Structure 1
């Protein structure tokens, strides 16, 4: 029987081949490609798909047109691969606006392709551009929606607890440190080092999830529901005290021009 490691190696090879083919067909440079979902967060199931996200660059002439042009590329989604990317201009605009997805991408522990040093350059600019207030609202919305829509039933999909715990801990991290939160779930757990009961239950569920499929359900866990609800209330109160973040785009524009001009 093929091992999980061998299966993963085959998938990673397929991802690399598809990115290479895409770059050739679209005449783009893929500056960065990474894993963005549960495999990067640190709690995949054996049948979790691969959420591949990438940032790409067109030739200079593409950016010198008065026409509005597509700024995303999406490959057909199947049961294993979900691959899509953003044009560099779109990615940098969203970075300036504190889009949480791109701040996660540049921290991803699973990198499929890197041309140049884009994630490191963006990490250097992150403190200048990241808006804690916007980040808290993003993760609060994720946690609140999951809590209300998925955790109030007689049976709960196991993965939904992680889809609520990770964002509420991310929001808690921003409240605590006033900067963008770690992407990896385990890196957020130090925030609740004073809650061994929560940590023990998380560890138990991680063990189950590592061998269970995506559809696995469990009985509701009152300990988690109470914790998530309390933290949502705490973050909702805290975010009101955080001022809005204002900055200009000069540094982002310089990075954009530098990268685009390399295509001249």
Structure 2
């Protein structure tokens, strides 16, 4: 846990209806540019008991909750273990970032096994996830002019490039190289307001579009040259984990 995260977060996992394999912090705190008024995005995996899987009344595969605690908005999303594992095997960078987040609120032996399987989930096709995410965020920036989607655009492009080149996933924008020189100033501006506009001295749209396009090309080149495999190798290990947890409950 970092100094920007409240201590009371650690009590939330025990409040959930099902045991959590893990809970981590995602969103702006993970990406390196939380604002003073940022909400806290909790993500994780819950483990449905066997009777809620094989019976007539089945449990929720995805649980979503939002509430205010101590003046902070908390957004919690957890997936059942089997659903989460299926998502891990579908070039889904978002769930990989949740699993590998260093901002751990709750952990377990199942979490440790998921972490051990994570390298076998990485493929060069994860570049498609980051390309699509970047396009979505750039369009949102074009419509809104807000700083947040612009930083998300740069973040996902740089995360994708780093993943393709090194085989490691880094979601914190402030730890990624290769961005334009003004990124540090944009991060500083974002930390002062969650939904603020670009600072007055920010580059113009032409420069921003040029830099985003350049990084998009770099991501494609990194994908083409990547040593990552085409398909995940962890399917068998994840299947065995789900079966064992379903039967033994842990």
Native 8 Å contact 1:38 1:48 kept in 2? yes
2:137 is matched with which residue: 129, 146, 152? 146
Q: Aligned residue for 2:102?
A: 109
Native 8 Å contact 2:151 2:186 kept in 1? no
Q: Aligned residue for 1:221?
A: 203
Residues in 2 aligned to 1:67 and 1:97: alpha-carbon distance in whole angstroms? 28
The count of aligned residue pairs is: 240
Q: Aligned residue for 1:263?
A: 249
Native 8 Å contact 1:33 1:112 kept in 2? yes
| Structure-2 change in CA distance of 1:51 and 1:65 (3 Å) | same
Q: Aligned residue for 2:169?
A: 181
| Structure-2 change in CA distance of 1:207 and 1:117 (3 Å) | same
The 5 A counterparts of 1:47-126 are 47-65=37-55, 69-76=59-66, 80-118=73-111, 120-126=112-118
Q: Aligned residue for 2:149?
A: 160
The 5 A counterparts of 1:225-236 are 225-236=209-220
Residues in 2 aligned to 1:114 and 1:61: alpha-carbon distance in whole angstroms? 24
1:80 is paired with a residue whose SS is strand
Structure 1 gaps of 5+ residues are: none
1:54-113 CA deviation, whole Å, 9 max, x = no partner? 211122333334776530111145671111210111111111223212210122121111
2:120 is matched with which residue: 115, 128, 136? 128
Native 8 Å contact 1:98 1:131 kept in 2? yes
Residues in 1 aligned to 2:172 and 2:232: alpha-carbon distance in whole angstroms? 28
1:212 is paired with a residue whose SS is coil
Single out whichever of 124-133 and 45-54 deviates more from structure 2: 124-133
Residues in 2 aligned to 1:184 and 1:115: alpha-carbon distance in whole angstroms? 24
Native 8 Å contact 2:32 2:174 kept in 1? yes
TM-score under structure 1 length normalisation: 0.78
